[in-house]
Amino acid sequence: MPGALEGVRIVDLTTMISGPIATMMLADQGADVIKVEPKTGDLVRVLGPSKGDRTATFLAANRNKRSLVLDLKTDEGLTALRKLVATADVVVQNFRPGAAERMGIGEADLRKERADLIYVSISGFGETGPYAKKRVYDPVIQALSGLAAIQADRDTGRPRMIRTIIPDKLTAVTAAQAITAALFARERRGEGQHIKLSMLDAMIAFLWAEGLVALTFPGGEKHAARAQLSQDLIYKTKDGYITVGAVSDDEWKGLCAALDQPQWLEDERFNTPSGRVVNAPERLALTQEVLQHKTSAEWLSVLDANQVPCAPILDRTTLLDHPQIQANQIVEEQSEDDLGAFRLPRPAARFSRTQGEIRRHAPHLGEHTEQLLGELGYDQQTIDELISVGAASNYG
């Protein structure tokens, strides 16, 4: 089934995570995404355990794209890129601010090739300000956005990093949405534009609605109540860990029944929602005391029967086998000659009419160089010359 973005062409100059995952989401929805790489390739091709020129992360961030290797420091390479941009709807880059302009591929340069181009600049910190030219890594954004402080140790106050690169990936999804909105606007009005998005902006906007919400009312920063959800609702059972939540009165009654603790219903500390929040430490300790005596499966069964929200804590060894994850068919097993079998999650949003499909796995470095140069009108002799002078490279 043709995807929602079928017919859209995107020139993807990005590397690492925030750009590539943004364009992969659009590729999954049918866009023709051309990943333009230097001869050394996107660093993610080699960061971590790899099979040839692709790591597991590269596979998960670059499927449905084609790879074109150009040396943009050569006149010929830059000319080929300009020809490509003339055929494109969107260009995305995540160089540090100022770098694209120095390379001759800034917005003003490329708009000459295509007047209604959507040009996208993803940065770490924004275009101005003291951090604008600094190198960015995900933990730096976790530090500056308040995320590391939100996760601080309750006893020592020591901040903690989240052990997965939330800011990088959140920026990717935010960028994908903005690009799609600009495509819609161009479809209606015929105009391209320049979208700018920084990881820092994306992360603060994302955290705000409850993570930073205590900053909303000036003067109210200190006495904002700790959110219910900020409690660590994890319990140890006889054989593992589960999460259990009981927010509403109905759920609290269900919990007392499931745990066979009818006297908790009479306990004045716990018989109102606000009481349960105020007396959370005692409530959680009592709950933990009971839950340690049976297995996770026993508790989950009886909690389910009493309609109490609950789940096992899944890890890498149990996640793929969970019946809900299997029922949703989230993880698909695929294969390719060079890779053997491998797994990837399917795109999360399911479209009844424009589902899109996996048309190709993440490309080898330069796998489509000759094909794409041919599509741009270069004859074989010229392609061979471009490759021989190093302005372009192909795979193998």
One residue of 40, 48, 262, 282 binding a copy of itself per CB under 8 A? 48
One residue of 32, 37, 251, 367 binding a copy of itself per CB under 8 A? 251
Residue 169-208 contact track with a copy of itself, rule CB under 8 A, x = bound = xx--xxxxxx-xxxxxx-xx--xxxxxxxx-xxx-xxxxx
Residue 297-316 contact track with a copy of itself, rule CB under 8 A, x = bound = -------x--x-xxxxxxxx
User: Which range touches a copy of itself (CB under 8 A), out of 230-238, 257-265, 278-286, 365-373?
Assistant: 230-238
Binding of a copy of itself at residue 291 (CB under 8 A)?
no
Query: 324 or 388: whose CB is closer to a copy of itself?
Result: 324
Query: Residue 68 and residue 363: Cα distance in Å, rounded?
Result: 9
Query: 131 or 395: whose CB is closer to a copy of itself?
Result: 131
Site for a copy of itself in 122-141 (CB under 8 A): 125-126, 128-132, 134-140
- Confirm if 92 and 12 have CB atoms less than 8 A apart: yes
In degrees to the nearest 10, what's the CA dihedral of 15, 78, 373, 386? -110
Query: Residue 60 and residue 283: Cα distance in Å, rounded?
Result: 42
Query: 77 or 97: whose CB is closer to a copy of itself?
Result: 97
Query: Residue 96 and residue 85: Cα distance in Å, rounded?
Result: 20
One residue of 102, 108, 190, 209 binding a copy of itself per CB under 8 A? 209
- Confirm if 58 and 385 have CB atoms less than 8 A apart: no
Query: 86 or 349: whose CB is closer to a copy of itself?
Result: 349
C-alpha triplet 310, 313, 318: angle, nearest 5°? 125
Query: Residue 42 and residue 240: Cα distance in Å, rounded?
Result: 40
Q: How far is the CB of 15 from a copy of itself (least distance, A)?
A: 14
Active site residue: 28, 168, 239, 315, which one? Answer: 168
Query: Residue 54 and residue 367: Cα distance in Å, rounded?
Result: 12
Half-sphere exposure of 23 toward its Cβ, with a 13 Å CA cutoff? Answer: 35
Query: Residue 31 and residue 6: Cα distance in Å, rounded?
Result: 5
Task: Catalogue the active-site residues.
Answer: 168
